[in-house]
Structure 1
C-alpha cells in the first residue's frame, strides 16, 4: 500500500497541475468538472501525511511532460514575454520553476505582453494622431481609418502603410499636375485661336495661376464665353448682311434712277418735239385762216367790181399751210408715242416723277391734229370762196354763196374747236408744270436724303468689308494655330488679304475657316472627353484596388485571429492530452486500492476532455487554414486590382 502512495501522490499532483493549467480550456472541454478536482484533492489530503518518497517513473514522466510543454512555450509562443519567461524557467536551477511558470508565470507574462502591446498601441495612436491632416487625401483618409481600427492596423500603418499612402498621394498629385498642365495648354490654345470673349476670359483665368480655376473655366466658363462669341458673331453677320442688302438696294436704285433719268430726258425731248410740232401746226392753221380771209376779201372786191380775181396764189398758199399742219400733226403723234414709251419705263422703275409729261404730249398731239383739221377746213373755205367768186352773175350765185357760208361756218367752228383744244393743252401743261416743279423740289430733297443714306450705307458697307477682312484673317490664323502649319498659314493670310476686298467673298471664307476651327475644337473636346473617361476608369480601378486591399487586410486579420485560436486550441489539446494520460497513469497505479474507482472515473473524464480538446483543435486548425487561404486569395485579388489600377493610370497618361 505504501508503495502505491508516492505514485498516486505524484500522479495526483501532476493531474492537479494539469487541471489548473487546462482550466482556461473549460469552454472547449466542458467535462473537466469541479467534482473531479475535489476528488483529487481528497486523494491528496488522504496521502499527505505520508513521508515524501523519491520520484517515481510516473512522476518523472509528468515532470518531463511539463518541461516539454514549457519548452514549446519558449519556442513557439507568439508573445515574446511568454517565450522569455518560459526560457527563464527552463534555465532556472529552482526545481519549482517549471511548475511556477505553468501555475502563474505564463499568465503574468501574457499580462505583461498585453500591457506592452497596449502601451505600444497608445504610443502608435499618439504618433498617428500627430499625422492628421499632414498628407494628401489618401494619406489623411488612411490616418482616420487606422485610428478607428485595431492595434494591428495602427502598427501596420506605421510600419509600411504610411509610406504606401504617401506614395499613392504622390502618384495622385503627379496625375493632378499632369492634368493641370494639360488644362493650361488647352486654355493657352484658346487664347490663340478663340474669339474675343474667349480670348479675354482665357487670359484672365491664366493670370490667376489657379489650377482649379482653370479646370472650372474649361468645364463651364469656356462654354459661356464661346456662346457669347457666337452671339456676337451672329449679330455682326446679321448687320453685315443688312449692310450688303442695303448696298444692293442702293445699286438697284442707282440703276433704276439712271434708267429713269435717261427715260425722263427722252420724255422731255419728246415733249419738246410735240410742243414744236404743235407750234408749227398752230402757225400753219393761223396762216391758212389768214388765206381764207384773204380769199374772202378778194370775193368782196369781185362782187364790188363785177369781176373775178385770180384765187390761184391763195389756194396754193393755203394748200402749203395745210401740208405743214398735217406734217406737224403727224410729228406731234410720233412725239406723243415716244413720250408714252419713256413714261412706261418710268412706271417700270417705280420712279414715276415726270410721267405726266406723256399725257401732256398726248394732249399736244390731239391739239396739233385739231390744228391740222382746222387748216384743212380753212382750205375748204378758200375753195368755196373761189367757187363763189366764179359764180358771180350766174344763176347759181345764191347757191354758191350759201355753200360758201356753210364752209365759213365750218371753218369758224373748226378753228374754235382747235382753239379750245389748244387752250386745254396749254392749261394741262401749266398744271403739270406746276406739279412737276413741286415734285422737282421734293425730288431734290429726297435726292439729298438718299445721298446721305447712300453715303451712310456706303460707310457701313466699307466697315462690313473691313470687318469681314479682319474676320477672314482671324479665321485663317485660327486654322494655322490648330494645324500647326506656319507656312500654309502665311500663304492663307496673304491670300486672305488679296481676296477679301469683296464683303460677300470674305464672309464666305470666314465661315469656312470658322467651320475648320470648330472641327478642331470638337476634336479637342472629344480628346478631353476620352481623357476624362480614362481618368474615371483609373479612379474606379483605384477604388477597386483600395477595397480589395482593405478586404485583404480584413481577411489577413481574420486569418491571424484564426491562427491564434488554432494555436491556443492546440495548446489546450496538448494540455488536455497530458492531463488525460496522467489520469490514466494514476488510475493504473491506483488499481487494487480504495481510490481505484475514483481514479478510473477521473481518467475517463480526462480522456473525454482530451478528445473534445483534440476535436476543437482540429476544427480551429481547419478554420485557420481556411482563413489563411481566403487571406491569400484576397491578397492576390488586391495585387491584381492594384495592377489593373496601374495599367489604367498608364493608359490615362
Structure 2
C-alpha cells in the first residue's frame, strides 16, 4: 500500500515535469510509464515500483523531506514539530518515512495526552477558584469550566486577572455609587417632606450602604406617596375651610339682609299698631257721640223740646274719617310687612315672619274699627231722625229703625273689640316666640362666630402648609434633576469601563496568540527556515498513509 501511494505521487509529479520540459531527451520520454487498460470488472494491479536509484525515487524522497520540514516548522503541536525535527536530524535513511507512516500520529497522540493532562490540571486549579472572587470573576469561573480547554487555558493565562480587575473596578464603582447615594439621601433628609425626611434619617442612621440603596429604590417612593397623601389631605382641608368660609360669608350676607328686612318688618308692625290705636280711638269717640245723641233724645222726650244734633253728627263724621284714615295706614303697613316677610323666606332665616301675620290682623282690626265707627254714625243719624219725628205719625217706625241701628252699632263694636283682642293675643304670642327665637339666634350666632374663627385658623394653617409644600416640591424637583444627571454619568462610566475591559481582553488574547506563534517560530528557526517550493504543504497538514517503493 505504501509503495502504491509513493508511485502514484511520483507519477503525478513526474508527469507534470515531463509535460513542462519540451527539450528533454528522447530516452527520458521513453522511460515514462505507460497506462495499461484492463478489461471491465478487473481491479487495477499495484503500480510497478521504479528501479532503485531512479529520478522518480529521488524526487519522492525530496518531497517527503520537504513535507517533514513543513511539519517541523509550522505544525501547531510541539510534539509533532519535535518528532519531525528528530526525523530530519536522524542518520537513519528510513527516519523520514517512519515519521510519515506512524511517527506523526504518535506525536499527535502525545500532544493530545499532554493537552488533556494540562486541561485536567487547569480544571482542578480553576475549580479551586470557585467563589473566591467578585461577581464577574465567579461568573467567568463558571463559564470557562463549562467551556473548552482553550477557554480554561486563556482564563489562567490572562482571563482571571482581567476578571479580578473588572471586579475591583466594579467594587470601586460600588463605593462611589454608595457615596453618591448617601449624599442624595442626606439631601432628601434636609429638603424632603415630613415622611421622606423621617425615612431618610432612619436609613442614614443605620450606616449601611445596602439600606441606603434600598431606601432610594423603594423607601423613598413609599415615603413620598405618604407625603403626597398628606398634601392632598391638607389641600382638601383647605378647600373645606374655604368652602366653609364662603358659606359663612353667604350666611352673613343673608343674616344682614334678613336683619334689615326684620327691622323694616318690625317698623311696619309698629306703624300698624299706631294706626290700630288711632282707629280704635276714633271708634270709641264715635261710640261716645252716638251715646250723646241718645241722651239728647231722652231729654227731648222728657222736656217736650227738640235739640240741635248737628254738632254731634259733625263730630261722629270726623271720627269716622279718622278711623278710615288709620285703617288705610294699617293696611299699607301690613303690605310692607308682607314684603319683608318674603325677604326672610328667601334667605331661609324665617325668624320674625309671624310679625307680618300680626300686621295683617291689626289691619283687619283697624278695618273693623272703621265699620264700628260708621255704625255709630248711622246710630247718631237715626237718633236725630227719631227726635225730629217725635210728633209724627211714623214715630213707631222711627223707633224701630233706631233700635236696629243701635243693635248694629253694638254688634260692630263687639266684633271690633273681638278682632282687636285677637290681634293683641296674636301679637303677644309672636312677641313670646320672637323672644325665644332671639335667644336661640344669639346662641347660634355665637357658635357661628366660633366656627368662623376655627375655619379661619384652619385656612391660615392650610395656606402656610401649602406654601411649605410648594417650596418642598420645588426642592424635590431639583433633587430629581440631579438624580437624573447622576444616573446619566454613571451609565457613561459603566459603558466606558465595559469598553476598556473588552479592549484589555482583546489585547491580552492577542498577546497570548503572539506568544504561542513566537514559540512555534522559535522551534522552527532552530533547524533553519526553508523556502517553500512546488508541492510544499501548509502547516498542520496531516499526511495519511506511507510511501512505497524500494527503501
Report the TM-score when normalising by structure 2: 0.69
Q: Give the deviation of 1:369 after TM superposition.
A: 1.7
* Alignment match, 1:413: 411
**Residue 479 of structure 1 pairs with residue 477 of structure 2:** no
Q: Do the aligned partners of 2:234 and 2:466 also contact (CA within 8 Å) in 1?
A: no
Give CA-to-partner distance per residue, 1:413-445, whole Å, 9 cap, x none.
3222222322332333344344x15xx435534
Q: Partners of 2:346 and 2:185 in 1: how far apart?
A: 59
Q: Do the aligned partners of 1:86 and 1:101 also contact (CA within 8 Å) in 2?
A: no
Report the secondary structure of 1:353's partner residue. Answer: coil
Give CA-to-partner distance per residue, 1:520-544, whole Å, 9 cap, x none.
x6x7898899899x79x969x98xx
1:60-459 aligned at under 5 Å gives the runs 78=76, 80=78, 117=115, 120-170=118-168, 172-173=170-171, 190-191=188-189, 194-208=192-206, 213=211, 216-395=214-393, 397-434=395-432, 436=433, 440-441=435-436, 444-445=439-440, 447-449=442-444, 451-459=446-454
Q: Partners of 2:132 and 2:261 in 1: how far apart?
A: 95
Q: 1:142 to 1:303 in 2, by over 3 A?
A: same
Give CA-to-partner distance per residue, 1:62-100, whole Å, 9 cap, x none.
9999988887766556555666677678779x9799699
Q: Do the aligned partners of 1:192 and 1:478 also contact (CA within 8 Å) in 2?
A: no
Q: Partners of 2:149 and 2:89 in 1: how far apart?
A: 33
Q: Do the aligned partners of 2:237 and 2:462 also contact (CA within 8 Å) in 1?
A: no
Q: Partners of 2:254 and 2:70 in 1: how far apart?
A: 122
Q: Give the deviation of 1:284 after TM superposition.
A: 2.3
Q: Partners of 2:165 and 2:235 in 1: how far apart?
A: 55
Q: 1:414 to 1:65 in 2, by over 3 A?
A: closer
Give CA-to-partner distance per residue, 1:218-248, whole Å, 9 cap, x none.
5544444444333333333223222222222
Moved more, 130-139 or 188-197: 188-197
* Alignment match, 2:461: 466
Q: Give the deviation of 1:159 after TM superposition.
A: 1.6
* Alignment match, 2:43: none
Q: Do the aligned partners of 1:193 and 1:477 also contact (CA within 8 Å) in 2?
A: yes
Give CA-to-partner distance per residue, 1:432-473, whole Å, 9 cap, x none.
344x15xx4355346425533542353133223222222223
Q: Do the aligned partners of 2:76 and 2:539 also contact (CA within 8 Å) in 1?
A: no
Report the TM-score when normalising by structure 1: 0.59
Give structure 1 stretches of 5+ with no counterpart.
1-13, 19-35, 41-55, 485-520, 587-653
Give CA-to-partner distance per residue, 1:268-299, whole Å, 9 cap, x none.
23223322322232222222212211221122
Q: 1:123 to 1:303 in 2, by over 3 A?
A: same
Give CA-to-partner distance per residue, 1:241-263, whole Å, 9 cap, x none.
22222222222222222222232
Q: Partners of 1:408 and 1:279 in 2: how far apart?
A: 24
Q: Partners of 1:209 and 1:71 in 2: how far apart?
A: 70
Q: Partners of 2:407 and 2:82 in 1: how far apart?
A: 171
Report the secondary structure of 2:457's partner residue. Answer: helix
Q: Do the aligned partners of 2:320 and 2:370 also contact (CA within 8 Å) in 1?
A: yes
Q: Give the deviation of 1:146 after TM superposition.
A: 2.4
Q: Do the aligned partners of 2:136 and 2:166 also contact (CA within 8 Å) in 1?
A: yes
Q: Do the aligned partners of 1:332 and 1:364 also contact (CA within 8 Å) in 2?
A: yes
Give structure 2 stretches of 5+ with no counterpart.
7-45, 518-536
For CA contacts below 8 A with separation 6 or more, give which structure has more relative contact order.
2
Report the secondary structure of 2:306's partner residue. Answer: coil
Q: Partners of 1:414 and 1:67 in 2: how far apart?
A: 166
1:517-528 aligned at under 5 Å gives the runs none
Q: Partners of 1:100 and 1:447 in 2: how far apart?
A: 133
Q: Do the aligned partners of 2:192 and 2:475 also contact (CA within 8 Å) in 1?
A: no
Greater share of helix residues, 1 or 2? Answer: 1
Report the secondary structure of 1:253's partner residue. Answer: helix
Between Structure 1 and Structure 2, how many residues are aligned? 475
Q: Do the aligned partners of 1:284 and 1:375 also contact (CA within 8 Å) in 2?
A: yes
Q: 1:249 to 1:67 in 2, by over 3 A?
A: closer
Report the secondary structure of 1:132's partner residue. Answer: coil
